[in-house]
Amino acid sequence: MSNRKPIIAGNWKMNNTQAQAETLIKELIPLVKDAQAEVVVCAPYTALEKAVALTKGSNIAVGAQNIAWADSGAFTGEISAEMLAEIGVKYAIIGHSERRMMFGETDATVNARAKQAIAKGITAVICVGETLEERETNITESVLKIQITGAFAAIDAKDLNNVVIAYEPVWAIGTGKTATSAQAQETIKYVRSVMESLYGKAAADVRIQYGGSMNASNVDELMAQPDIDGGLIGGASLKAADFAKVVNYK
């Protein structure tokens, strides 16, 4: 039996002003107060400080949606790990498929960002996943192996407790195709096997989330899978009642 505590994180993406964030968090707090899973909300930069203040004393942690690879300097538009840690941010999503596809994120930049997060005590939520073309040409495993190996380059086994992996089947996002719970389990089990090849027994404690449209209707089935330790939730995290149903899965 695994000692891995499930972790359900809401990725708000580019949604929610400070006022909207306040409304959502105030609605969410009482709905998830008895959750067995760790609960995280990943807000836009402008709402992070307010989110941290509002969640104080609750069981909800706050995450950022990205983090810089440098301590400081001439990096217009970037936000450093120190800046995030200073306001109480505990998690940072790194290498999300949207960042990779739209904003040029690479395995090397994911690795550099993850190291910065870990150095400042912020848990890195490292995203990996294959596209529809990669899935259909049967190269899912080789793609994931390259992404994982690149993302974890020179990250020590002792730092794995500061890392969560989120597997996102990019092919199941907006394509009308969906991953079955069996497909999700099979691929996440493979992700864990790659981590085992890198870190040995220490990989057994790494939490791996599923990031492919987990919602109230499929969460129970997905979370029943032995290697799925939570979810990185997009659209279903934007309404308190919807997100609470996922967090409070059976």
Active site (catalytic) residues: 96, 168
CB 64 within 8 A of CB 42: yes
